[in-house]
Amino acid sequence: MWDWIADYYIAPIGGVMNAALPANFKLASETKISIHPEFDRDLENLTDNEITVVEALQLQESLTLKEISDLINIKTVQPLIKKLIEKKKAIVSEELNAKYSPRFQSFIEISEHIQTSEKLENLLNELEANKRNEKQVNALLKIVDKVKWNEGSQNPIPKKEILAEEIGESTLQTLEKKGIITIFNAEVSRLVSKLAESKEIKALSPSQQKGLEEIKSHFEEKDVVLLHGVTSSGKTEIYVSLIQEMLEQGKQVLFLIPEIALTTQLITRLQHYFGDLVGVYHSRFNQNERIEIWHEVLKNSGKFRIILGARSSVFLPFQNLGLVIIDEEHENSFKQFDPAPRYNARDTSIVLGQLHKAKILLGSATPAIETYFNAKENRFGLVTLTERFGGVKMPEIQCADLEKETKQKTMKSHFSSFLVSEMEEAFKNKEQVILFQNRRGYTPIWSCELCGWTPTCKNCDVSLTYHKLSNALKCHYCGYFITPPASCGGCGSRKLKMLGFGTEKVEDELAILFPNIKIQRMDLDTTRAKNSYQQIISSFENREVDVLIGTQMVTKGLDFDNVGLVGILSADQMLHYPDFRSFERSFQLMSQVAGRAGRKAKRGKVIIQSFNPDHWIIQKVMQHDYEGLYNQEILERKNFHYPPFFRIISLTLKHRDKDVLEMGSITLGKNLKAIFNERLLGPETPTISRIKNMFIKTITIKFERESSPKKVKDVIREKIEQFLAMHDYRAIRVDIDVDPQ
């Protein structure tokens, strides 16, 4: 699979290995300098710095490069070390250190020689005879109870459990000295299992049962099946039934999800059915925890037969994979953007499944156009669920006309009067509300009313976003931040205004409109901690929060039973993004967030705020018409040579010198154009032309699906290698992105 990724995504195999293995698996190497075994103590012909190093090496067995650098106060010490080696005064060695260290814990058990109740009773009587032994007697009785001691049989318990019973360390040491208890260290897992009793799998509804049978029927002929089910149609229960069958056959299951946030709810649901057979693997786990999951998957033991994970879990060493489920398969979170390999976990997992002769199930309410095209062309099986579980109706979607409300002056901050009245109604009915705004921070642009100046990042060509909580203007690309300026940097005016709004501002202004409701925000700023997703989702599930405001995190498969209203605050932002997939993505985001409404008993309501309510995408969302979107989009894609009819490879060139980059991109563009002709677009300057002080140019190659991808990639590799061999352009960085998202 590594070879396939390296070849398909034009990535070095070392980069693939780097992405595949947890960091702590890799051995760390450190250069050590020590005295030469033939050192003759002659310090003539040595410089002062060389003498200092040699004298230090005579006192210490070895020194690292950093220690030598600190010793002589020189940053680059390699030339000095090289001279010492040539003069036979020093030698160099590499010391390898394993980063992974197993976790050990102290345990307590009753000593082996106390085999019978009679011996234990005699021992207690001896101790009780002396009043000074009262603490020891108390401790021993607690230990006997905790280890469930019975005629020699027992379960050792963690020492910390006994210490938590207000028993002192000195008391335990005394019991150990007397040979009554044994304290020992043992390796333990870092993966804490919080298990409930496994529950019986729910019976499927007639439509779910029909869908399951259709999937199995397709699996007889095809390896890949698309399950296109509307939001809340019960796709997860179908997944559970398929997983159960695989476990009965002794197979492993990979359940891929796009967002870490989803694991919180999904792991709870899956553990209800499968207990500790479910393992979770994603980047929020520390490196040692990831290694332990890796070992369990490799052993193919009884533990972690089901892996629920984000895109990196495709690299786990499965031994007997039977089923791969890719939930919300349309999500671009499955695509790795930086660094290489820029793989798509959905496509990679299909290859992984085929290597294992496993079946692959793709699930989505709004499939990617390319996936649906493959299903329509009969390359994949297609199963459709058109009704929600329990007969609940699809949410009623309405549009608030922002242009009309702005003219009539009925807007309340960034909320239309229509949305405000619907929120009031929801709160009156004790229902919860989700508000979706796909931009974090407080306000994206500060601007001078007189000259139009806006504060921008010093490293990137982007305006800074204001964050009220930290009172800072931040760059979302490189992390640069400044305190908000008191006056305009262009003309000195103090008339600075804020334009636009993010989730932080929505939270702020909603609190003014509804002072008595509880509000929670879910975006990158509030979910940086390891368990923050879980805490936010749990408080919303437990109805401790009335309104959840979020970015696209709230659109991805979350299941809440009391959401009566969903508000999409700015649909136009998504529609006008300069990308051939912007209409498809807008439909997916709006449909997915709309699907959070009315999922259990009552039909929900969705309000979309837009200055263009008649836009055909908004109309398709309101009609729940995915087929209509697909038919229109597939026609556009065919006419303008985009996937699924053409393949795309994108080249991104970066350099600190704008002029060098300009000349270099033109040179590479000409070399490629000689071969690809009109299939090549660019070089072009992207919307954001500089990030982290690197100027950017892009070249896009579109070629027919019938063409040999291998030949095309071989040509691209060859031309890039020739280009980077030129002296003037060897410092230009060229990133290759196959099938960009």
Per-residue pLDDT of 506-535, as tens digits, reads: 888 899 999 889 998 887 777 766 667 778
* Cα separation, 514 vs 518, whole angstroms: 9
Residue 13 pLDDT class (50, 70, 90 cuts): very high
Residue 87 has φ and ψ, to the nearest 5°, of -85, 5
* Cα separation, 1 vs 349, whole angstroms: 9
Instruction: Indicate the SS3 state at residue 607.
Output: strand
Give me 433's structure tokens. 């509300």
* Cα separation, 469 vs 441, whole angstroms: 9
Residue 197 pLDDT class (50, 70, 90 cuts): very low
Place of tokens 């159960």: 244
pLDDT at position 221 is 92
What is the mean predicted confidence (pLDDT) over 573-596? 86
The answer, yes or no, to whether residue 171 has pLDDT greater than 60, is yes
Residues making up the chain, counted from first to last: 741
What is the mean predicted confidence (pLDDT) over 205-218? 91
Q: Are 475 and 460 in contact (CB under 8 A)?
A: yes
* Cα separation, 360 vs 225, whole angstroms: 6
Residue 195 pLDDT class (50, 70, 90 cuts): very low
Q: Decide which of 585 and 29 is more confident.
A: 585
Tens digits of residue pLDDT in 707-736: 999 999 999 999 999 999 998 898 999 999
Tens digits of residue pLDDT in 685-705: 998 899 989 999 999 999 999
Torsion over CA: 528, 533, 535, 537 (sign): positive
* Sheet-wide strand order for 381-385: 278-281, 306-309, 252-256, 321-327, 359-364, 224-229, 381-385
Question: How many helices, marked H, and strands, marked E, lie in the chain?
Answer: 25, 29
Q: Are 504 and 442 in contact (CB under 8 A)?
A: yes
- Among residues 326, 318, 312, 258, the alpha carbon closest in space to that of 281 is found at 312
- Among residues 525, 49, 557, 21, the alpha carbon closest in space to that of 258 is found at 557
pLDDT at position 639 is 93
The answer, yes or no, to whether residue 363 has pLDDT greater than 90, is yes
Torsion of CA 471, 474, 476, 479, to 10 degrees: -110
Place of tokens 């037969």: 305
Asked if 27-98 and 646-738 have one fold, the answer is no
Torsion of CA 449, 453, 455, 461, to 10 degrees: 140
What is the mean predicted confidence (pLDDT) over 197-204? 67
Place of tokens 């709160």: 427
Q: What is the 3-state secondary structure (H, E, C) of 73-89?
A: CCCCCHHHHHHHHHCCC
- Among residues 189, 172, 190, the alpha carbon closest in space to that of 181 is found at 172
pLDDT at position 263 is 64
| Low-confidence winner among 92-101, 359-368, 660-669 (lowest mean pLDDT) | 92-101
The answer, yes or no, to whether residue 468 has pLDDT greater than 90, is no
How would you classify the pairing of strands 181-188 and 27-35? unpaired
- Among residues 297, 327, 240, the alpha carbon closest in space to that of 592 is found at 327
pLDDT at position 643 is 92
| Low-confidence winner among 259-263, 382-386, 458-462, 613-617 (lowest mean pLDDT) | 259-263
Tens digits of residue pLDDT in 652-679: 999 999 999 999 999 999 999 999 999 9
Residue 261 pLDDT class (50, 70, 90 cuts): low
Give me 294's structure tokens. 């890796």
> What predicted TM-score, i.e. pTM, was given to this entire model?
0.76
Place of tokens 């500790």: 276
Options 3.40.50.300, 3.30.70.100, 3.20.20.140, 2.60.120.10; CATH for 396-442+501-634 is: 3.40.50.300
Give me 607's structure tokens. 């309000």
* Cα separation, 330 vs 226, whole angstroms: 11
Which 8-state DSSP code applies to residue 344?
Answer: B
Instruction: Indicate the SS3 state at residue 262.
Output: helix
The answer, yes or no, to whether residue 193 has pLDDT greater than 80, is no
Highest mean pLDDT among 29-43, 158-172, 414-428, 548-562: 414-428
- Among residues 39, 45, 72, the alpha carbon closest in space to that of 58 is found at 39
- The per-residue b/e assignment along 503-540, b for 16 or more CB within 10 angstroms, e otherwise, is bbbbbbebeeebeeeebbbbbebbbeeeeebbebbeeb
What is the mean predicted confidence (pLDDT) over 74-101? 82
State which fold the 27-98 domain adopts.
Arc Repressor Mutant, subunit A (1.10.10)
Q: What is the 3-state secondary structure (H, E, C) of 549-601?
A: EECHHHHCCCCCCCEEEEEECCHHHHHCCCCCCHHHHHHHHHHHHHCCCCCCC
Give me 53's structure tokens. 């190093």
Q: Which amino acid is at 18?
A: N
CA separation, residue 358 to residues 243, 251, 343 (Å)? 12, 9, 20
* Sheet-wide strand order for 90-98: 62-64, 27-35, 90-98
First to last CA, the chain: 21
pLDDT at position 212 is 92
Residue 313 has φ and ψ, to the nearest 5°, of -70, -10
CA separation, residue 432 to residues 269, 274, 602 (Å)? 22, 31, 13
**Is the preceding peptide bond at 22 cis, omega within 30 degrees of 0?**
no
Place of tokens 């029927």: 217
Q: Are 737 and 696 in contact (CB under 8 A)?
A: no
In CATH, the number for domain 206-390 is: 3.40.50.300
Domain extents in the chain: 27-98, 103-188, 206-390, 396-442+501-634, 646-738
* Cα separation, 47 vs 258, whole angstroms: 59
Q: Residue 92 pairs with which residues in a beta bridge?
A: 33
Options 1.20.1260.10, 1.10.760.10, 3.30.70.600, 3.30.70.260; CATH for 646-738 is: 3.30.70.600
Tens digits of residue pLDDT in 430-446: 888 999 888 888 877 88
- Among residues 360, 286, 355, 351, the alpha carbon closest in space to that of 325 is found at 360
* Cα separation, 680 vs 697, whole angstroms: 14
The rounded mean pLDDT for the chain is 86
Residue 194 pLDDT class (50, 70, 90 cuts): very low
What is the mean predicted confidence (pLDDT) over 131-148? 83
What is the mean predicted confidence (pLDDT) over 55-72? 86
- Among residues 291, 296, 289, 373, the alpha carbon closest in space to that of 330 is found at 373
The answer, yes or no, to whether residue 571 has pLDDT greater than 70, is yes
What is the mean predicted confidence (pLDDT) over 579-607? 83
Percent of the chain with pLDDT over 90: 35
What is the mean predicted confidence (pLDDT) over 322-336? 92
- The per-residue b/e assignment along 669-692, b for 16 or more CB within 10 angstroms, e otherwise, is beebbeebeebbbbbebeeebbbe
